[in-house]
Amino acid sequence: MLISVAVRSLNEKELLSVFIENHQFADEIIVVDGGSTDGSRELVRGAPAISGVPVHLVDFTERVPGRKGGWRNPEGRHVNFALDQCKGEWIWLTEMDAIPSLALQKEVRGVLERGHINAVGSYLYYIAPRKEGEGYEHYPELIKGRGLTCWHRSLNLRADPDKDFEPTIKFEHPWYCFSPPAARVHLSWRSEEVLRAKWKFYREVHGLNQEHPDKKWDREPLPEWLEWKGK
């Protein structure tokens, strides 16, 4: 087995089908669910019947109290639990809203099969729905550089288990970096309704107060060459 894609999930039904459809380059997709109640668990169970790649549902049951009520999964331990489920030589740890472009999906296996690298990076485009509701735009100021996308399991990379919010996988050695249009898109919100729901969760559980991205950053048209399944 060459590539394991692992993703944490909590009530991500809206994005699950798009996520699975755009990770068909992998040899397995592992959805590590933290306690979803929106029907996404049932959707994952049915995914192998419509997908050419095995899709596994694994439960992560650990929870910690939220800052202002509710609960959340301790993210550092959630990440490491997800890593432990991977059987492939290469580990593609990702988020449900980080979607590889068609070009990245097409190129990644060939790069990994060459065998002369141990980590791969790519650029991430933060996108938003157009105000008129058709298509997408993006925030160019948020493209700060390449980000670690997948790595060989021999590196044994881990998250800090004590980080309950925004855990990171640290790797400072050189890696191969894809160039656009082989990139990723960040589908963090596809409607104002979804954005407001996310803000509510972050406010109650993480104690964060956020303002609309349009108040902080300017938008630009999304490059026409940046494509993915379901766009």
Q: Which tokens go with 100?
A: 């590889």
pLDDT band at 94 (very low <50, low <70, confident <90, very high): very high
pLDDT-based confidence at residue 90 (cuts at 50, 70, 90): very high
Q: What is the pLDDT of residue 216?
A: 93
pLDDT of residue 34: 93
- CA-to-CA distance for 200 and 118, rounded, in angstroms? 39
pLDDT mean across residues, the chain? 91
3-221: CATH, from 3.40.50, 3.30.60, 3.90.550, 3.30.1490? 3.90.550
For the cut 90, the answer to whether the pLDDT of residue 158 exceeds it is yes
**pLDDT bucket at 69, cuts 50 / 70 / 90:** confident
pLDDT at residue 6 is higher than 90: yes
Residue 41 in tokens: 């668990």
Is the entire prediction scored with pTM above 0.85? yes
CA-CA-CA-CA torsion for 99, 158, 44, 107, nearest 10 degrees? Answer: 40
pLDDT at 210: 83
Is the per-residue pLDDT at 4 higher than 80? yes
Question: What pLDDT, on a 0 to 100 scale, did the predictor assign at position 97?
Answer: 94
Q: Is the model more confident about 66 or about 156? A: 156
Residue-level pLDDT at 218: 96
| pLDDT at position 68 over 80 | no
pLDDT at 49: 64
The pLDDT value recorded for residue 104 is: 98
> What contacts 24+ positions apart, CB below 8 Å, involve 131-140?
135/222, 136/185, 136/222, 136/231, 137/219, 137/220, 137/221, 137/222, 138/185, 138/219, 138/220, 138/221, 138/222, 139/213, 139/217, 139/218, 139/219, 139/220, 140/218, 140/220
Residue 85's CB: how many other CB atoms inside 10 A?
16
Alpha helices in the chain (DSSP H): 13-21, 40-50, 75-84, 102-113, 192-201
- Is pLDDT above 90 for 170? no
Q: Is 4 left (phi over 0), alpha (psi -120 to 50) or beta?
A: beta
pLDDT tens digits, residue range 35-59?
A: 999 999 999 988 776 678 999 999 9
Every domain of the chain and the residues it spans: 3-221
pLDDT of 182-200, one tens digit each? 999 999 888 888 888 888 8
- From CA 197, how far away is CA 182, in angstroms rounded? 31
